Structure 1
Protein backbone atom coordinates (compact mmCIF):
# COMPACT_ATOMS: atom_id res chain seq x y z
CA UNK A 1 0.00 0.00 0.00
CA UNK A 2 1.31 3.45 -0.90
CA UNK A 3 0.26 6.54 0.97
CA UNK A 4 0.43 9.86 -0.77
CA UNK A 5 0.17 13.23 0.87
CA UNK A 6 -1.74 15.91 -0.94
CA UNK A 7 0.26 19.10 -1.04
CA UNK A 8 -1.37 22.49 -1.57
CA UNK A 9 -0.79 24.09 -4.93
CA UNK A 10 0.92 27.44 -5.18
CA UNK A 11 -2.42 29.07 -5.95
CA UNK A 12 -4.14 27.88 -2.78
CA UNK A 13 -4.11 30.18 0.19
CA UNK A 14 -3.84 28.67 3.66
CA UNK A 15 -4.10 31.63 5.95
CA UNK A 16 -5.26 31.53 9.51
CA UNK A 17 -8.64 33.04 10.36
CA UNK A 18 -6.80 35.54 12.57
CA UNK A 19 -3.46 37.34 12.27
CA UNK A 20 -0.55 36.08 14.35
CA UNK A 21 1.26 38.71 16.38
CA UNK A 22 5.02 38.46 16.66
CA UNK A 23 6.53 38.20 20.12
CA UNK A 24 9.35 40.06 21.81
CA UNK A 25 11.40 37.54 23.77
CA UNK A 26 14.29 38.40 26.08
CA UNK A 27 16.98 35.94 27.12
CA UNK A 28 19.19 37.41 29.80
CA UNK A 29 21.93 36.26 32.10
CA UNK A 30 24.12 37.86 34.74
CA UNK A 31 27.20 36.65 32.87
CA UNK A 32 28.21 37.04 29.26
CA UNK A 33 27.03 33.88 27.62
CA UNK A 34 26.46 32.30 24.23
CA UNK A 35 22.75 31.64 24.18
CA UNK A 36 22.82 28.12 22.75
CA UNK A 37 19.09 27.59 23.18
CA UNK A 38 18.34 30.76 21.20
CA UNK A 39 20.66 29.73 18.38
CA UNK A 40 19.14 26.25 18.37
CA UNK A 41 15.66 27.76 18.14
CA UNK A 42 16.75 29.98 15.22
CA UNK A 43 18.28 27.03 13.34
CA UNK A 44 15.18 24.88 13.92
CA UNK A 45 12.80 27.58 12.70
CA UNK A 46 14.95 28.33 9.64
CA UNK A 47 15.10 24.60 8.88
CA UNK A 48 11.29 24.61 8.72
CA UNK A 49 11.38 27.27 6.01
CA UNK A 50 10.94 30.47 8.02
CA UNK A 51 13.32 33.36 7.18
CA UNK A 52 15.59 34.08 10.16
CA UNK A 53 18.22 36.76 10.78
CA UNK A 54 20.83 36.57 13.55
CA UNK A 55 22.65 39.83 14.28
CA UNK A 56 25.64 39.87 16.61
CA UNK A 57 26.38 43.51 17.40
CA UNK A 58 29.56 43.09 19.44
CA UNK A 59 31.16 40.13 17.68
CA UNK A 60 33.67 40.87 14.97
CA UNK A 61 36.91 39.52 13.70
CA UNK A 62 35.78 37.28 10.85
CA UNK A 63 34.91 39.68 8.02
CA UNK A 64 31.18 39.01 8.33
CA UNK A 65 29.45 42.38 8.10
CA UNK A 66 25.99 43.01 6.67
CA UNK A 67 27.44 42.93 3.15
CA UNK A 68 28.76 39.39 3.71
CA UNK A 69 26.27 37.40 5.78
CA UNK A 70 26.89 33.76 6.49
CA UNK A 71 23.96 31.82 5.07
CA UNK A 72 23.16 28.67 6.98
CA UNK A 73 20.76 26.83 4.74
CA UNK A 74 18.28 28.66 2.58
CA UNK A 75 16.53 30.58 5.33
CA UNK A 76 19.07 31.77 7.91
CA UNK A 77 21.30 34.80 7.50
CA UNK A 78 23.90 35.48 10.19
CA UNK A 79 25.69 38.81 10.34
CA UNK A 80 28.18 40.39 12.69
CA UNK A 81 29.62 43.82 13.07
CA UNK A 82 32.23 44.39 10.38
CA UNK A 83 35.13 44.92 12.79
CA UNK A 84 38.52 43.24 13.22
CA UNK A 85 37.81 42.47 16.90
CA UNK A 86 35.02 41.69 19.35
CA UNK A 87 33.77 44.64 21.40
CA UNK A 88 34.15 44.33 25.17
CA UNK A 89 34.37 47.98 26.18
CA UNK A 90 32.31 51.11 25.55
CA UNK A 91 35.45 52.95 24.43
CA UNK A 92 35.46 52.68 20.63
CA UNK A 93 37.20 54.63 17.95
CA UNK A 94 35.16 56.39 15.26
CA UNK A 95 35.48 53.56 12.72
CA UNK A 96 34.21 50.99 15.24
CA UNK A 97 31.33 53.20 16.30
CA UNK A 98 30.34 53.79 12.66
CA UNK A 99 30.40 50.03 11.98
CA UNK A 100 27.96 49.39 14.83
CA UNK A 101 25.70 52.24 13.69
CA UNK A 102 25.74 50.88 10.13
CA UNK A 103 24.79 47.41 11.37
CA UNK A 104 21.97 48.84 13.53
CA UNK A 105 20.61 50.84 10.59
CA UNK A 106 20.79 47.80 8.29
CA UNK A 107 19.00 45.67 10.88
CA UNK A 108 16.16 48.17 11.16
CA UNK A 109 15.80 48.44 7.38
CA UNK A 110 15.54 44.69 6.73
CA UNK A 111 13.14 44.18 9.63
CA UNK A 112 10.88 47.05 8.51
CA UNK A 113 10.93 45.57 4.98
CA UNK A 114 9.48 42.35 6.41
CA UNK A 115 12.23 40.16 4.99
CA UNK A 116 12.52 38.01 8.13
CA UNK A 117 9.97 36.41 10.45
CA UNK A 118 12.42 35.88 13.32
CA UNK A 119 15.24 38.27 14.20
CA UNK A 120 17.77 37.50 16.94
CA UNK A 121 19.61 40.56 18.29
CA UNK A 122 22.50 39.05 20.20
CA UNK A 123 24.11 41.04 23.02
CA UNK A 124 21.94 44.04 22.26
CA UNK A 125 21.74 44.89 25.96
CA UNK A 126 25.51 45.38 26.11
CA UNK A 127 25.38 47.63 23.05
CA UNK A 128 22.73 49.67 24.88
CA UNK A 129 24.65 49.68 28.17
CA UNK A 130 27.83 50.78 26.35
CA UNK A 131 25.77 53.69 24.86
CA UNK A 132 26.44 52.39 21.35
CA UNK A 133 22.73 52.03 20.51
CA UNK A 134 20.21 54.31 22.25
CA UNK A 135 17.68 52.48 24.41
CA UNK A 136 14.89 54.72 23.07
CA UNK A 137 15.78 53.70 19.50
CA UNK A 138 15.37 50.03 20.45
CA UNK A 139 11.97 50.67 22.06
CA UNK A 140 10.84 52.56 18.93
CA UNK A 141 12.17 49.77 16.71
CA UNK A 142 10.24 47.13 18.66
CA UNK A 143 7.03 49.17 18.41
CA UNK A 144 7.41 49.87 14.67
CA UNK A 145 8.42 46.37 13.51
CA UNK A 146 5.91 44.52 11.31
CA UNK A 147 3.30 42.85 13.50
CA UNK A 148 4.22 39.29 12.44
CA UNK A 149 7.95 39.57 13.24
CA UNK A 150 9.29 37.79 16.31
CA UNK A 151 12.27 39.48 17.96
CA UNK A 152 14.65 37.77 20.38
CA UNK A 153 16.97 40.02 22.40
CA UNK A 154 19.87 38.58 24.37
CA UNK A 155 22.44 39.91 26.78
CA UNK A 156 23.33 40.81 30.33
CA UNK A 157 21.55 43.51 32.32
CA UNK A 158 18.65 44.08 29.90
CA UNK A 159 17.18 47.57 30.47
CA UNK A 160 13.89 47.66 32.38
CA UNK A 161 12.13 49.52 29.56
CA UNK A 162 12.78 46.56 27.24
CA UNK A 163 11.76 44.03 29.88
CA UNK A 164 8.51 46.00 30.24
CA UNK A 165 7.60 45.52 26.55
CA UNK A 166 8.75 41.88 26.36
CA UNK A 167 6.17 39.15 25.95
CA UNK A 168 8.51 36.55 27.44
CA UNK A 169 11.59 36.87 29.65
CA UNK A 170 13.95 33.97 30.23
CA UNK A 171 16.68 34.42 32.82
CA UNK A 172 19.59 32.00 32.61
CA UNK A 173 21.35 31.48 35.93
CA UNK A 174 24.45 29.62 36.92
CA UNK A 175 24.16 27.20 39.75
CA UNK A 176 26.71 25.02 41.43
CA UNK A 177 26.47 22.15 43.75
CA UNK A 178 29.16 21.36 46.31
Structure 2
Protein backbone atom coordinates (compact mmCIF):
# COMPACT_ATOMS: atom_id res chain seq x y z
CA UNK A 1 0.00 0.00 0.00
CA UNK A 2 1.30 3.42 -0.97
CA UNK A 3 0.21 6.53 0.88
CA UNK A 4 -0.22 9.65 -1.19
CA UNK A 5 -0.87 13.27 -0.31
CA UNK A 6 -4.07 14.81 -1.69
CA UNK A 7 -2.82 17.79 -3.67
CA UNK A 8 -6.32 19.16 -4.35
CA UNK A 9 -6.52 20.73 -0.89
CA UNK A 10 -6.01 24.50 -1.08
CA UNK A 11 -3.78 24.32 2.01
CA UNK A 12 -1.27 22.18 0.09
CA UNK A 13 -0.22 25.23 -1.91
CA UNK A 14 1.00 27.04 1.19
CA UNK A 15 4.46 26.03 2.35
CA UNK A 16 4.95 26.08 6.08
CA UNK A 17 8.68 26.74 6.59
CA UNK A 18 8.97 24.67 9.75
CA UNK A 19 7.46 21.66 7.93
CA UNK A 20 9.35 22.04 4.64
CA UNK A 21 11.36 18.96 3.73
CA UNK A 22 15.13 19.31 3.63
CA UNK A 23 16.96 17.22 1.09
CA UNK A 24 20.18 15.44 1.93
CA UNK A 25 23.49 14.78 0.25
CA UNK A 26 24.50 11.15 0.65
CA UNK A 27 27.74 9.51 -0.38
CA UNK A 28 28.16 5.81 -1.05
CA UNK A 29 31.83 4.98 -1.48
CA UNK A 30 34.16 2.02 -1.37
CA UNK A 31 37.39 0.66 -2.82
CA UNK A 32 35.78 -1.07 -5.80
CA UNK A 33 34.21 0.40 -8.89
CA UNK A 34 30.76 -1.07 -8.55
CA UNK A 35 27.30 0.38 -8.37
CA UNK A 36 25.57 -0.20 -5.07
CA UNK A 37 22.30 -2.09 -5.59
CA UNK A 38 20.80 -0.30 -2.59
CA UNK A 39 21.22 3.06 -4.35
CA UNK A 40 19.33 1.84 -7.41
CA UNK A 41 16.69 0.28 -5.18
CA UNK A 42 16.26 3.63 -3.43
CA UNK A 43 15.86 5.44 -6.77
CA UNK A 44 13.28 2.87 -7.94
CA UNK A 45 11.37 3.07 -4.67
CA UNK A 46 11.26 6.88 -4.73
CA UNK A 47 10.17 6.93 -8.39
CA UNK A 48 7.59 4.23 -7.78
CA UNK A 49 6.04 6.40 -5.07
CA UNK A 50 5.63 9.27 -7.50
CA UNK A 51 8.73 11.37 -6.91
CA UNK A 52 10.73 11.95 -10.10
CA UNK A 53 14.25 10.50 -9.88
CA UNK A 54 17.29 10.78 -12.10
CA UNK A 55 20.30 8.46 -12.30
CA UNK A 56 23.34 9.83 -14.16
CA UNK A 57 26.14 7.37 -14.89
CA UNK A 58 29.21 9.35 -15.86
CA UNK A 59 31.59 6.56 -16.78
CA UNK A 60 29.21 3.96 -18.21
CA UNK A 61 28.64 4.16 -21.93
CA UNK A 62 26.24 2.49 -24.27
CA UNK A 63 25.16 2.62 -27.85
CA UNK A 64 22.58 5.33 -28.43
CA UNK A 65 22.83 6.74 -24.91
CA UNK A 66 23.42 10.28 -23.73
CA UNK A 67 21.19 13.10 -22.54
CA UNK A 68 19.09 12.96 -25.71
CA UNK A 69 18.30 9.25 -25.26
CA UNK A 70 17.54 8.55 -21.58
CA UNK A 71 16.11 5.25 -20.42
CA UNK A 72 12.90 5.36 -18.40
CA UNK A 73 12.03 2.90 -15.65
CA UNK A 74 8.73 2.79 -13.74
CA UNK A 75 7.57 6.05 -15.27
CA UNK A 76 9.33 8.31 -12.77
CA UNK A 77 12.95 7.16 -13.09
CA UNK A 78 15.09 8.67 -15.83
CA UNK A 79 18.46 6.97 -16.39
CA UNK A 80 21.16 8.71 -18.44
CA UNK A 81 24.58 7.49 -19.47
CA UNK A 82 27.45 9.17 -21.26
CA UNK A 83 27.06 8.97 -25.05
CA UNK A 84 30.16 6.84 -25.61
CA UNK A 85 30.47 3.28 -26.86
CA UNK A 86 32.49 1.99 -23.91
CA UNK A 87 32.90 2.24 -20.15
CA UNK A 88 35.44 4.91 -19.31
CA UNK A 89 38.32 3.79 -17.12
CA UNK A 90 40.98 6.35 -17.96
CA UNK A 91 41.30 10.14 -18.04
CA UNK A 92 42.54 9.89 -21.64
CA UNK A 93 39.46 10.38 -23.80
CA UNK A 94 39.05 10.83 -27.52
CA UNK A 95 37.74 14.22 -28.64
CA UNK A 96 34.21 12.84 -29.18
CA UNK A 97 34.26 11.22 -25.73
CA UNK A 98 35.33 14.52 -24.14
CA UNK A 99 32.47 16.26 -25.93
CA UNK A 100 30.01 13.59 -24.72
CA UNK A 101 31.20 13.97 -21.13
CA UNK A 102 30.89 17.75 -21.35
CA UNK A 103 27.32 17.40 -22.68
CA UNK A 104 26.40 14.96 -19.89
CA UNK A 105 27.76 17.30 -17.21
CA UNK A 106 25.90 20.25 -18.78
CA UNK A 107 22.70 18.16 -18.82
CA UNK A 108 23.22 17.15 -15.18
CA UNK A 109 23.60 20.76 -14.05
CA UNK A 110 20.45 21.79 -15.95
CA UNK A 111 18.49 18.84 -14.53
CA UNK A 112 19.47 19.63 -10.93
CA UNK A 113 18.88 23.36 -11.33
CA UNK A 114 15.46 22.73 -12.89
CA UNK A 115 14.21 21.35 -9.57
CA UNK A 116 12.24 18.69 -11.45
CA UNK A 117 13.68 15.73 -9.54
CA UNK A 118 13.31 14.79 -5.90
CA UNK A 119 16.30 12.42 -6.05
CA UNK A 120 19.39 12.59 -8.24
CA UNK A 121 22.05 9.85 -8.25
CA UNK A 122 25.46 10.84 -9.62
CA UNK A 123 27.17 7.50 -10.22
CA UNK A 124 30.97 7.29 -10.24
CA UNK A 125 31.21 11.03 -9.87
CA UNK A 126 34.35 10.70 -7.75
CA UNK A 127 36.22 8.97 -10.59
CA UNK A 128 35.04 11.51 -13.15
CA UNK A 129 36.47 14.21 -10.87
CA UNK A 130 39.70 12.28 -10.26
CA UNK A 131 40.16 11.76 -14.01
CA UNK A 132 39.80 15.53 -14.48
CA UNK A 133 36.65 15.11 -16.58
CA UNK A 134 34.44 17.20 -14.27
CA UNK A 135 35.80 20.10 -12.19
CA UNK A 136 35.44 19.49 -8.44
CA UNK A 137 34.73 23.17 -7.83
CA UNK A 138 31.71 23.04 -10.18
CA UNK A 139 30.36 19.99 -8.34
CA UNK A 140 30.71 21.73 -4.97
CA UNK A 141 28.95 24.83 -6.30
CA UNK A 142 26.13 22.74 -7.83
CA UNK A 143 25.57 20.83 -4.59
CA UNK A 144 25.51 24.04 -2.55
CA UNK A 145 22.98 25.66 -4.90
CA UNK A 146 20.68 22.66 -5.49
CA UNK A 147 17.01 23.02 -4.57
CA UNK A 148 16.76 22.58 -0.79
CA UNK A 149 14.26 19.68 -1.00
CA UNK A 150 16.37 17.63 -3.43
CA UNK A 151 18.18 14.49 -2.27
CA UNK A 152 21.45 13.75 -4.06
CA UNK A 153 23.45 10.53 -3.83
CA UNK A 154 27.08 10.54 -4.98
CA UNK A 155 28.85 7.25 -5.63
CA UNK A 156 32.38 6.16 -6.43
CA UNK A 157 35.68 5.31 -4.78
CA UNK A 158 37.99 7.92 -3.27
CA UNK A 159 35.37 10.64 -2.84
CA UNK A 160 37.02 14.09 -2.66
CA UNK A 161 37.16 15.58 0.83
CA UNK A 162 35.32 18.74 -0.28
CA UNK A 163 32.30 16.61 -1.21
CA UNK A 164 32.51 14.51 1.93
CA UNK A 165 32.36 17.70 4.02
CA UNK A 166 29.08 18.67 2.30
CA UNK A 167 27.51 15.26 2.89
CA UNK A 168 24.81 14.60 5.44
CA UNK A 169 25.57 10.87 5.33
CA UNK A 170 28.59 8.87 4.16
CA UNK A 171 28.36 5.13 3.66
CA UNK A 172 31.61 3.24 3.07
CA UNK A 173 31.30 -0.23 1.57
CA UNK A 174 34.05 -2.61 2.59
CA UNK A 175 34.77 -6.26 2.00
CA UNK A 176 34.72 -8.37 5.11
CA UNK A 177 38.17 -9.69 5.95
CA UNK A 178 38.25 -13.42 6.80
CA UNK A 179 38.90 -14.09 10.47
CA UNK A 180 42.00 -16.20 11.25
Residue 8 of structure 1: which of 6, 12, 15 is its match? 6
Aligned to 2:19: 18
Q: Secondary structure at the match of 2:137?
A: helix
Q: Which stretches of structure 1, 4 residues or more, deviate above 4 A after TM superposition? A: none
- Whole-Å separation in 1 of the counterparts to 2:75 and 2:59: 25
Structure 1 segments unaligned to the other structure (5+ residues):
none
Q: Mark the CA change 1:97 to 1:11 in structure 2 (over 3 Å): closer, same or farther.
A: same
CA 35–62 in structure 1, closer or farther in 2 if over 3 Å, else same: farther
Counterpart residue number, 1:87: 88
SS class of match (1:64): coil
Question: Partner of 1:121 in structure 2?
Answer: 122
Q: How does 1:1-178 map to 2 (within 5 A)?
A: 8=6, 10-14=8-12, 17-177=18-178
Q: 1:174 to 1:9 in 2, by over 3 A?
A: closer
Q: Partners in 1 of 2:37 and 2:141 — Cα distance? A: 27
Tell me how far 1:135 sits from its aligned partner: 0.5
Residue 11 of structure 1 deviates from its aligned partner by: 4.3
Distance in 1 (alpha carbons) for counterparts of 2:93 and 2:65: 19
Secondary structure in structure 2 of the residue aligned to 1:40: helix
CA–CA separation in structure 2 for the residues paired with 1:62 and 1:13: 47
Change (3 A) 1:9 1:25: closer
The size of the alignment, in residue pairs, is 173
Contact 2:91–2:131 under 8 Å retained in 1: yes
In 2, distance between residues paired with 1:147 and 1:110?
14
Q: Secondary structure at the match of 2:107?
A: helix
SS of 2:171's equivalent in the other structure is strand
TM-aligned CA distance change 1:9 to 1:123, over 3 Å:
closer
Instruction: Name the one with the larger helix percent.
Output: 2
